[in-house]
């Protein structure tokens, strides 16, 4: 296992294992990099690294699909695992367990280094020179409202009293060289912090960090409890503190090895239209909304900077790998804290984060004497739907551990044969609904309320599978394998 403390060493490691596609011809910055990245997701090719982009300074690069499925079929989750300092051959369930386990360990706070030792401040642009027009920011999809300046970068903000620092990912659209507009959801942590600045009538300082250490990007995109610092959690995963440096123009610390840092302030009103944007559910966007303006005041960057991007859409991209694993880890953590003997939690990539599998061990009835499967499903829903992260999950399936939940073929088989057509489900009415999940009606989005459901698929008696593994004597299977 190795922790990569900057994006470049991570890319080099992927390259060494054949998981980088070098695009050396010149590409048009409008749509080509995004379209190439989107196709790389859909055919599971190596991650594209673009070396020559029309209209930008020589040496500026783009990097697509940083945490999608690997092109290596023997280690499909290698990009996510390596980002987090885990072995490239780690399974999806092992990654979820690692993310959950780190929640119960002491955080390791970041350590500040001097500016001279911070690669992210090798070049400093101020005033009118600090313009986004210098950087390769493509359109993600042709129906989007603009070029998206943030799809895989980390937004850093803190409360006015300085007690809570939040590192997160939120989509941010370029308006012009000096302005961006970002989606600020009130219930999300960045929305809660922005509201505190609005209360005191002052614009919120922000830093938008492109290309930090891969673990920073990953943790910025997963749920951890409010008022917990992502930087400390990343230090736990890395086993060492994250090196940070004081931003040039605002009172925030930023990752020292980042590729690019954009500094400025966020308006106190929703004064600019953001969107539409093609989101993780797999559909092109069709609407926009008023959101706060991110004013660009200072930009710092490394020599020959690399701008990473995630082009969301149909499976499989970062929202279906890393984000889904983070949500599963969050669910696993809360259910175990509620003393429910859950064996695993998993969100299949192809579900686009619309369903969650809760896997129970074969002896769960012994561990919960007197509890029926219906009561267990009700309890699971009561725990999960109180958590903020589960606002994204409309459907939960409680399943046995007699199949591989990460194997989509087996998931389809189990859900098709074990979900009752009308019964054995716990329905939770009037749950909080936001627009990102695709399965609700317009009136539910307007009301902000809708139903969520937990399906009970647990077998009263375990049935043997009509399979090679369970349908024949062991000595017959072994003889066949020996002569295969």
Q: Which of the following is catalytic: 243, 279, 297, 318?
A: 279
Task: Please choose, from the candidates 178, 94, 193, 63, the residue with its C-alpha nearest in 3D space to the C-alpha of residue 130.
Answer: 178
Q: Is 273 helix (H, G, I), strand (E, B) or coil?
A: strand
For residue 377, report the phi and psi dihedrals to the nearest 5 degrees.
Answer: -60, -40
42 token code pair: 């859909």
CB 216 within 8 A of CB 209: yes
Active site residue 443: no
Residue 234: how many other CB atoms lie within 10 Å:
28
Q: Quick count: other Cβ atoms within 10 Å of Cβ 126? A: 13
| Cα distance between residue 226 and residue 233, in whole Å | 12
Give the start-end residues of each E strand in 353-394. Answer: 355-360
Rounded to whole angstroms, the Cα distance separating 82 from 86 reads 5
Q: Please state, in angstroms and rounded to a whole number, the distance separating the CA atoms of residues 346 and 349.
A: 9
Report the first-to-last Cα separation within the chain, whole angstroms: 34
Tokens 């509620």, residue?
338
Output the DSSP codes for 40-77.
Answer: HHHHTPPEEEE--BTTS-TT-EEEE-TTS--S-TTSTT
Q: In the block, which residue shows the tokens 């360990």?
A: 105
The encoded tokens of residue 430 equal 């009037």
Rounded Cα–Cα distance for residues 290 and 183 (Å) = 9
Q: Mind telling me the catalytic residues?
A: 279
């Amino acid at each position: 296992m190795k922790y990569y403390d900057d994006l470049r060493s991570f890319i080099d490691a992927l390259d060494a294992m054949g998981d980088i596609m070098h695009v050396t011809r010149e590409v048009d910055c409008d749509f080509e990099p995004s379209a190439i990245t989107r196709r790389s997701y859909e055919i599971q090719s190596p991650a594209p690294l673009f070396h020559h982009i029309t209209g930008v300074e020589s040496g500026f690069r783009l990097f697509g699909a940083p945490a999608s499925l690997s092109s290596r079929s023997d280690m499909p989750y290698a990009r996510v695992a390596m980002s987090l300092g885990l072995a490239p051959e780690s399974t999806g369930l092992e990654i979820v367990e690692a993310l959950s386990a780190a929640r119960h360990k002491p955080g390791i706070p970041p350590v500040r280094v001097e500016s001279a030792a911070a690669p992210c401040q090798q070049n400093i642009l101020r005033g009118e020179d600090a313009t986004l027009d210098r950087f390769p920011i493509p359109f993600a999809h042709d129906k989007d409202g603009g070029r998206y300046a943030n799809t895989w970068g980390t937004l850093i903000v803190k409360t006015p009293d300085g007690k809570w620092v939040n590192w997160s990912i939120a989509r941010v659209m370029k308006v012009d060289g000096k302005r961006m507009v970002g989606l600020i959801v009130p219930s999300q942590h960045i929305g809660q912090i922005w509201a505190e600045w609005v209360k005191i009538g002052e614009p919120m300082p922000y830093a938008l960090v492109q290309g930090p250490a891969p673990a920073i990007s990953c943790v910025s995109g997963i749920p951890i409890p409010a008022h917990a610092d992502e930087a400390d959690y990343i230090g736990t995963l890395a086993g060492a503190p994250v090196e940070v440096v004081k931003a040039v123009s605002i009172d925030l610390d930023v990752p020292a090895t980042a590729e690019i840092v954009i500094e400025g302030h966020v308006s106190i009103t929703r004064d600019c239209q953001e969107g539409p944007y093609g989101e993780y559910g797999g559909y092109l966007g069709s609407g926009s909304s008023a959101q706060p303006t991110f004013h660009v005041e200072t930009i710092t960057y490394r020599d020959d900077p690399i701008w990473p991007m995630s082009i969301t859409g149909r499976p499989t991209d970062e929202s279906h790998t890393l984000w889904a694993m983070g949500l599963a880890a969050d669910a696993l953590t809360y259910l175990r804290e509620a003393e429910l003997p859950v064996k695993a939690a998993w969100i299949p990539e192809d579900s686009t984060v619309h369903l969650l599998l809760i896997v129970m061990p074969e002896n769960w009835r012994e561990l919960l004497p007197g509890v029926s499967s219906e009561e267990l499903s009700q309890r699971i829903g009561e725990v999960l739907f109180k958590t903020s992260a589960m606002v994204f999950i409309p459907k939960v399936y409680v399943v046995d551990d007699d199949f591989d939940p990460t194997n989509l073929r087996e998931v389809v088989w189990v859900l098709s044969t074990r979900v009752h057509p009308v019964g054995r489900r716990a329905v939770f009415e009037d749950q909080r609904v936001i627009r990102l999940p695709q399965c609700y009606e317009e009136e539910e989005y307007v009301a902000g309320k809708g139903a969520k459901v937990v399906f009970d698929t647990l077998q009263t008696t375990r049935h043997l599978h009509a399979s090679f593994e369970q349908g024949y004597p062991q000595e017959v299977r072994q003889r066949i394998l020996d002569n295969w």
